[in-house]
């Protein structure tokens, strides 16, 4: 007799299909993508730190922080789209961790 866990796992596997593993080349491409976007995000943070240092009011500082967060979010979304192309998916909603 199977446990509830085993039954749930079987059901999940049926719903999500077989899990795909990456080739070494695909892993390298994902590592390059992560490195590229980590550098871009670091550049954004450095640029905005300078702007934050020049802010004269709390409201101005908060506006700069919000602008920086929006730009970083855009870069994170671009990163995920590039990684999704390698995984062969259109979104990150599959049951597999994409690192």
pLDDT for 7-60, tens place per residue? 787 777 777 666 678 899 999 999 999 999 999 999 999 999 999 999 999 999
DSSP string, 30-96: HHHHHHHHHHHHHHHHHHHHHHHHH--SHHHHHHHHHHHHHHHHHHHHHHHHHHHHHHT-SSS-SSS
Quote the pLDDT of residue 19: 66
CA atoms within 13 A on the CB side of 29: 13
The structure's pTM equals 0.69
- Residue 90 in tokens: 């259109």
Q: Where are the domains of the chain?
A: 46-81
pLDDT tens digit sequence for 57-97: 999 999 999 999 999 999 999 999 999 999 886 444 444 44
């Amino acid at each position: 007799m199977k446990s509830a866990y085993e039954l749930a796992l079987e059901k999940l596997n049926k719903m999500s299909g077989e899990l795909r593993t990456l080739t070494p080349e695909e892993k390298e491409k994902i590592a390059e993508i992560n490195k590229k976007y980590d550098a871009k995000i670091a550049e954004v943070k450095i640029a905005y730190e300078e702007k934050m240092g020049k802010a004269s009011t709390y409201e101005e500082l908060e506006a700069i922080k919000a602008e920086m967060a929006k730009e970083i979010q855009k870069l994170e979304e671009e990163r995920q789209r590039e990684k999704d192309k390698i995984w062969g998916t259109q979104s990150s909603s599959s049951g597999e961790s994409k690192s």
